[in-house]
Chain A
Amino acid sequence: MTATLEQTRNTESAGAGLVVASLERVSKNYGDVRALHSVDFGVRAGEVVALLGPNGAGKTTAVKLLLGLLQPNSGKVRVFGGDPTNPENRMRTGAMLQVGRVPETLRVREHIDLFSSYYEKPMALAEVLAAAGLEKLSERKFGELSGGQKQRVLFALAICGDPDLLFLDEPTAGLDVEARRMLWDEIRQLVSRGKTVLLTTHYLQEADALADRVAVINKGEIVAEGSPAEIKAQTAGKRIRCITSLSLHALRQIPGVTEVKEDREAIEIHTGEAEPVLRELLALDASLSGLEVTSAGLEEAFLALTQDSSKNGNHAS
């Protein structure tokens, strides 16, 4: 095991822990559909990484490749320095996938008991139940649970083997705000025990709440990578709308402005942070009117990121 871990040192990792899971120039197609295109991506030991992207961006494909459930068309997938289908790796990983149907007539406790038995050193049942917030539900049948409770059972199955590396594919998909926050707390507790986590999500807020590092994926390509704060600065941009006498050229000169558009009689300005731009705007044009500031939607943010990456070559980190 030490030998295989040594190997991973070669896959460049700026400081921090060893790369425990990586995609190296990985492409994956389903027939004519391109799911991933030459993706380079790594997760280092002890890190929580969020793969953030809209539906169909290739997040699930990336996770399944790392779990050895899919094979890439080209490129290399490594987990703990070896092949992801390596049974020994499976001992050290846990996975929460999106499942259409879980056997409904088995009790929560029974599902956990079975999955725990696969592992060499599983957590105690009580510990798993506590970590997943299922103490009061252990005797319930899976089919009797609410959506959030079902997700927590799948979470419990992912962690019951006490794995070093966890893959959580859209752990909070379809959950309401409260259930989502509960699961976040559970994931955070896990992280505090030194686990390495790769989670996928299409909520920027979720990536922000949980991850040390965020990789934004769109149409099968990583379009940005960085800390949540860095990504937020790019994605959680603001849109300023106003009527002004300033020329488009002058507006583009204002620091922090990423895009300026004419919209009928008004002007629309995109920026990472609204306040400095507003100060400048008001100082430059005393007659400015019809001022509106709104948050750019996530969809637009992804669009902006995609455009950015094609303009500037690559990411921001």
Chain B
Amino acid sequence: MSTATMALSNPRIVRSPRHTATIYLKEAKYEFLKYLRLRMYTVSVLTFPIMFYVLFGLVLNQNQTIGATRVAAYLIPSYGTFGVIAASLFGTAAGLASDRGLGWLEVKRASPMPPFAYFAAKVATSMVFSTVIVLALFTLGIAFGGVRMPIGSFARLLGILVAGSLPFSAMGLALGYFTGPNSAPPTINLIYLPMSFCSGLWVPIMFLPKVLQKIALVLPPYHLSQLALGVVGAGTRESVVGHWEALAAFTMICLGVARIGFQRDQEKMYG
């Protein structure tokens, strides 16, 4: 198939901006509903960070501090990061791997769905669940942990954590292209649980062995959690810009890998 004929016979579909917006919104809405009703997803993704926070932040260490920050405040960025990563990875990687492996993506590809709408819906859904997790942690912290901050700080913390959903959604897309329907969930666990631990999301980073503290510097959850911890005055003293740069670079790498997977899927057609 020459590029010339491809170009000639491949006029884009011209849709009104309103129609396009409708498609993107519906795609996102139903992606969200799909996961909201999937108990396996909501239970593991919403319950774990909230449960950990209640246990370690509210029940066990109520009046203790880490540095100058109360545990109840310190653990919101930590478990917030943890929750955002789980929501983003499971939502994108597991869904994509299953859709790819079991033929559903093919049905969608045979339809006039704009391909980007499919990915955008996954990322948007991850961000919505991330927001829910962070707001739940805020509510618990304020109501039972005596967490007090200016409203602007809450907003900044929420913004950072929800933006943090992007790099991990990108990672999820990359994983989803290189795992199968059955191997995706265990692969995600195998990667994100150790990564979360080593980044100091469960045990504060300064309590980890020195070696792990060094390793943490190359782990994306570390950079996200440090940005978030900065809001509650508990970040290490590295530059904020450096953390953002690290996350941006990680996002680009993941999108690059996902793109290779996407091309490979398309090329399977040519193979």
Contact = CB atoms under 8 A, between A and B. Distances in A.
Contacts of B6: 83
Contact of B26 (A88, A93, A94, A117): A117
Contact of A83 (B9, B268, B270): B9
Interface string A94-125: 11011111110110001001110111100000
B109 interface: yes
B104 A101 contact: yes
Contact of A154 (B1, B26, B107, B114): B107
A117 B104 contact: no
A97 B110 contact: yes
B11 interface: yes
B106 A71 contact: no
A110 B33 CA distance: 10
A98 B103 contact: yes
B26 A101 contact: no
A85 interface: yes
Interface of B: 1, 5-6, 9-13, 15, 19, 22-23, 26-27, 30, 33-35, 37-38, 98, 101-104, 106-107, 109-114, 181, 268-271
B30 A71 contact: no
A157 B110 CA distance: 11
B107 A4 contact: no
A210 B36 CA distance: 41
A106 B32 CA distance: 10
Contact of A118 (B1, B12, B106, B112): B112
Interface string A66-98: 011111000000000011011110110111011
A161 interface: yes
A102 B113 contact: no
Contacts of B111: 90, 94-95, 115, 118, 157, 161
B103 A100 contact: yes
9 contacts: A69-B109, A71-B269, A90-B111, A97-B110, A99-B102, A117-B22, A118-B111, A120-B15, A141-B37
A157 B108 CA distance: 10
B40 to A, nearest CB: 10
Interface magnitude class on chain A: 35 or more
Point out which of B27, B109, B112, B181 has the most chain A C-beta atoms below 10 A from its C-beta: B112
A161 B110 CA distance: 12
A100 B110 contact: no
A124 to B, nearest CB: 16
A85 B110 CA distance: 9
Contacts of A94: 111
B101 A100 contact: yes
B26 A114 contact: yes
A86 B11 contact: yes
Given A67-B110, A97-B106, A83 B30 contact: no
B10 A99 contact: no
Given A101-B103, A105-B37, A106-B30, A83 B112 contact: no
A157 B22 CA distance: 18
A86 B10 contact: yes
Contacts of B19: 120
A4 B12 contact: no
B10 A87 contact: yes
Contacts of A4: 9
A211 B102 CA distance: 29
A64 to B, nearest CB: 8
Task: In the A-B complex, list the 9 residue pairs whose CB atoms are closest, starting with the nearest.
Answer: A100-B102, A105-B37, A82-B9, A101-B102, A95-B110, A99-B103, A90-B112, A71-B269, A83-B9
Nearest to A83: B9
Contacts of A99: 102-104, 106-107
A287 B103 CA distance: 61
